[in-house]
Amino acid sequence: MREWAIVTPVKSPEPVRAKPDAVSVAAIEPAREAAIAEAGAAQVGEHLGHLVEGERLVTHYFASTHPGYRGWRWAVTVTRAARAKTVTINEVVMLPGDEAVVAPEWVPWSERVQPGDLRPGDLFPTLPDDPRLEPGFTETADAPEDVLTVVEELGLGRERVLSPYGREDAAERWYGGEFGPTSAIAQAVPYKCFSCGYWIRLADSLGQAFGVCANEMAPGEARVVAYDYGCGAHSDATIDLAEPPTPDHAFDTTAYDTLDLTLTED
């Protein structure tokens, strides 16, 4: 069976600027015995090296031979008191190595969900401090009828509306996207949307640069397209169909027909 795993690089700790303690550095066997006491002899492999953590403080690393912990290592920290001739075991832990198989770094849901991830029935809550939105005009309970008409036309009867930042963000995304002027299909044709009969300009201020395509044969059908986007389904892309040429009359000069010209009496 093939195994699938996520390998997340783990940054090894930086060595501390301290003079290595010869007794602590040489205490490989006491450190190994401490690791074996913690995990068992079958789980502790070869000595991988040591790291000076501080003054008379050294961590020895041993490979983990457990099949479920590939790339992990046993870390045994030893220390020595001043003027002492033997070391003391400080702690024994298992730590991930540079190629250890570990879980990926946790990402908040607000950053994990990407465009296109929502499915039928899913809800994506809007953050209360979303910079793309700002408070709208909602106090319409006692407004006169003519004011309500204007509010409805302008789309202001909402709790929040698109902010200037939200408009700029959308405009930059649309203009630089698949239906902007820099796309491959727009660069390949001389036609532009602003002169196309199928292009419906947006009524919002974004209509200065964007509209909706209404040609079902176009790749931008029912999508927001930039005014200087273009495709081969432009309304001016016509073909002049010339009438097929009429062949001249053919005269057969190599043979003749025999006609019966005998007159008959009535």
CB atoms within 10 A of CB 41: 11
| pLDDT digits 0-9 by tens, 121-174 | 988 888 889 999 998 766 666 777 887 777 777 767 778 888 999 999 999 999
- The answer to whether 165 touches 132, Cβ cutoff 8 Å, is yes
Tokens of 190: 């001389």
Q: When comparing pLDDT for 111 and 92, which is higher? A: 92
* Interval 219-243 mean pLDDT: 91
Q: What is the pLDDT of residue 259?
A: 74
In tens, the pLDDT along 31-65 reads 999 999 999 999 999 999 999 999 999 999 999 99
Residue 184 backbone class (left: φ over 0; alpha: ψ -120 to 50; beta: rest): alpha
Supply the pLDDT for residue 73. Answer: 95
CA atoms within 13 Å, Cβ hemisphere of 64: 22
Domain with CATH 3.10.450 in the chain: 22-96
106 in Cβ contact with 8 (< 8 Å): no
CATH topology classification for 22-96: Nuclear Transport Factor 2; Chain: A, (3.10.450)
- Read off the pLDDT of residues 190-204 as tens digits, 9 standing for 90 and up: 999 999 999 999 988
Q: Please tell me the predicted confidence (pLDDT) of residue 266.
A: 58
* pLDDT above 70 (res 12): no
Q: In this predicted structure, what is the pLDDT of residue 144?
A: 79
Residue 5 has pLDDT above 60, yes or no: no
pTM of the shown model: 0.55
In this prediction, residue 8 has a pLDDT band, given cuts at 50, 70 and 90, of very low
Residue 121 tokens read as 């029935």
- Residues 241-255 have a mean pLDDT of 74
The predicted structure's pLDDT at residue 161: 86
Rounded mean pLDDT of the chain?
86
